[in-house]
Amino acid sequence: MSTLSIAPYFPFSQMKITRQSVNADATMAVVVLKPDERFHPVCHACRTPAHGVHSEETRAVRDLNLASAQVSLNCTYRKVFCPQCERVMVEDTGVFMPYSRVTIRLARLVHALCCVMTVKDVAEHFDLDWKTVKNIDKAFLEEQYGHPDYSGLRVLAVDEISIKKGHRYVTVVLNYETGAVVWLGAERKKETLKKFYALLTLEQRAAIEAVAMDMWDNYIEATQEALPNAAIVFDQFHVVSSFGKVIDQVRIAEFNKARAKDRAVFKGAKYLLLKNRCNVRTRSEREQLDELLSLNRAISTIYILKDKLKHIWFYTSQTWAIKAIREWLALARTVRHHAVADFCRMLRVHARGILNHCLFPIHTSVLEGVNNKIKVIKRIAYGYHDLAYFSLKVIQAFQPRTVQPNGR
């Protein structure tokens, strides 16, 4: 049988309601709470029963709204002598955490809404300061993800993402098998990635079999030093993208050498040469491409090299992949251009990372998708000034979903 009482809406066993007041338009409500003398005070940190009360203080704490009224709890709490902590501590009231200005249940709701809304939107919804909302969310995230478990890591992907103008980057480490972001670090230096590897135990480092990355020397050196037995796998996308720059340099050089009447064919061909033949859809583009390839031998060769370079990643046998690389280098030497020569030297130096793709068919395209989602997270919040908070938000966003018993 129900009674006319607001007490059931405030199920705080350690506290009792002594008074309430509501303004005339029912938009603000104040509820006065005091410690229930029937319960012995306990320390909020260790839950040890206190020996005596040191003092009492009163604090106004925001609670969940009640109907249309914004509720403020006027809480009196005690400071007690804790024999375990050996100092004066705030008692565990069950209402709010020490030094907090919101109740525990409001803090949980704020954190839940921050998963789907921006900090600014949540702050405006509850009429709270945005820094209060951010600190609440960050505290929950640190509790959940502040002490990550790096056991079980076997295959990693490493890449960088730009977070600010002026070449401001963060390094992202992904568990390739689960899709979870396991770590973010400021900048993309060798020391950045070494900080992550330093967090791993010797057993965890030994368990890592392969790391996918682009041909960034800082990442390569850090991985070789920390994980000498792990295979470094270079991604097809980054290698082919680098060769795209070579194609453009050759195109410009050949344009400058071409006769005046032939130069019109070169115009507008920058992105045409980067397309796969199957993606050249319009008739005018096909005609221009065919005319350009038949007109210039160097351009024709470089276009063939682009397609043959991609096919190196199709091999599952290192023997055949080595043969394909040698054939590619032999054909590339027929193009007399310094950019092609430089790329050939780079390919020879990093051949091992390309051949490792035969053993570990992994790539960083998964991480490129992750980077796009990270950019969306950053854009929605109009940027993050707190890198630690930003890292926690990203790690939270990429946690593997747990399968429920009903399959959902």
Residue 67 resides in a domain: yes
Average pLDDT over residues 173-184: 91
In this structure, are 129 and 188 located in the same domain? no
Residue 383 resides in a domain: no
In this structure, are 179 and 261 located in the same domain? no
Cα 28–32–34 angle (5° rounding)?
160
* Predicted pLDDT of residue 382: 60
In this structure, are 73 and 42 located in the same domain? yes
Residue 253 resides in a domain: yes
In this structure, are 109 and 121 located in the same domain? yes
In this structure, are 184 and 83 located in the same domain? no
* Predicted pLDDT of residue 32: 94
Residue 399 resides in a domain: no
pLDDT tens by residue, 318-359: 999 999 999 999 999 999 999 999 999 999 999 999 999 999
CATH number assigned to the domain comprising residue 216: 3.30.420.10
Residue 377 resides in a domain: no
Domain housing 83 = 7-144
* Predicted pLDDT of residue 2: 53
- The yes-or-no verdict on residue 245 having pLDDT over 70 is yes
In this structure, are 302 and 261 located in the same domain? yes
In this structure, are 228 and 338 located in the same domain? no
In this structure, are 24 and 129 located in the same domain? yes
- The yes-or-no verdict on residue 404 having pLDDT over 50 is no
The residue among 212, 235, 258 that closes a domain is: 235
Average pLDDT over residues 275-303: 90
* Predicted pLDDT of residue 402: 46
- The yes-or-no verdict on residue 407 having pLDDT over 60 is no
Under 8 Å between Cβ of 76 and 35: yes
Residue 51 resides in a domain: yes
Under 8 Å between Cβ of 162 and 169: yes
The residue among 181, 206, 235 that closes a domain is: 235
User: Which residues have C-beta within 8 Å of that of residue 47, sequence separation ≥ 6?
Assistant: 92
In this structure, are 283 and 214 located in the same domain? no
pLDDT tens by residue, 109-145: 999 999 889 899 999 999 999 999 999 999 999 999 9
* Predicted pLDDT of residue 399: 80
In this structure, are 108 and 163 located in the same domain? no
Average pLDDT over residues 266-292: 88
For 339-362, b where at least 16 C-beta lie within 10 A, e where not — what string?
A: bbeebbeebeebbebbbbbbebeb
In this structure, are 26 and 139 located in the same domain? yes
Average pLDDT over residues 242-254: 93
Average pLDDT over residues 160-170: 77
Higher pLDDT among residues 398 and 400, named by residue: 398
The residue among 119, 144, 169 that closes a domain is: 144
When divided into structural domains, the chain yields a total of 3
Residue 401 resides in a domain: no
In this structure, are 197 and 267 located in the same domain? no
Q: Which of 219, 214, 215, 177 is nearest to 194 (CA)?
A: 219
Cα 188–342–161 angle (5° rounding)?
20
Work out the mean pLDDT of the chain and round it to a whole number. Answer: 89
